[in-house]
Amino acid sequence: MNPWGIKTPPGYSTLFVPPFHRESPFSALPAIVDTDKYNPPVNIPFVLTDPKFEGLIPAGTPIVQVIPFKRDGWVSKFGTEKDFKEQMGLHSKLRSRFFDSYKNQFRSSKEYK
């Protein structure tokens, strides 16, 4: 039973996913919860990924990664040939450098408060 609730500002939801880049004998089932409207503890179901696992999960083991995000309305569209050519150009630019290409050419610096 999860003892913590999460409250986000109006218009925000929370994505619960298994922790990225982590080996584990279990995997949490992903979920989205509108934590601006519902903030009691969210119990996350999980499944065993190692059928031979026996024992206890040690205290402090990460169970889920919690990612808040703003809900926005949007419309899905198919790309055009022009969009495809633009994407291929960016792909070529990415491949133009051997080390740290994405980091040096595309990544934006971020500030977390």
Residue 80 pLDDT > 80, yes or no? yes
Indicate whether 91 belongs to any domain: no
Say what the pTM is. 0.73
Task: Domain count for the chain, please give it.
Answer: 1
Query: Which residues touch 46 (CB under 8 Å, ≥6 apart)?
Result: 26, 27, 28, 29, 63
**Which residues in the chain belong to E strands, given as ranges?**
12-17, 26-28, 31-33, 46-48, 65-70
**What is the pLDDT at residue 75?**
93
Tallying the residues shown for the chain, one arrives at 113
The domain in which residue 66 lies consists of 12-70
Indicate whether 75 belongs to any domain: no
* pLDDT tens figures, 20-67: 998 888 999 999 999 999 999 998 899 998 888 898 888 888 989 999
Indicate whether 31 belongs to any domain: yes
Indicate whether 16 belongs to any domain: yes
**What is the pLDDT at residue 112?**
84
**What is the pLDDT at residue 29?**
95
Indicate whether 80 belongs to any domain: no
Indicate whether 39 belongs to any domain: yes
| Closest to 28 in 3D by CA, of 68, 62, 69, 52 | 62
Indicate whether 95 belongs to any domain: no
How far, in Å, CA of 8 to CA of 37, rounded? 8
Q: With b meaning 16 or more CB within 10 Å and e meaning fewer, what string describes 80-93?
A: eeeeeeeeeeeeee
Please list the residues that pair with 66 across neighbouring strands. Answer: 16
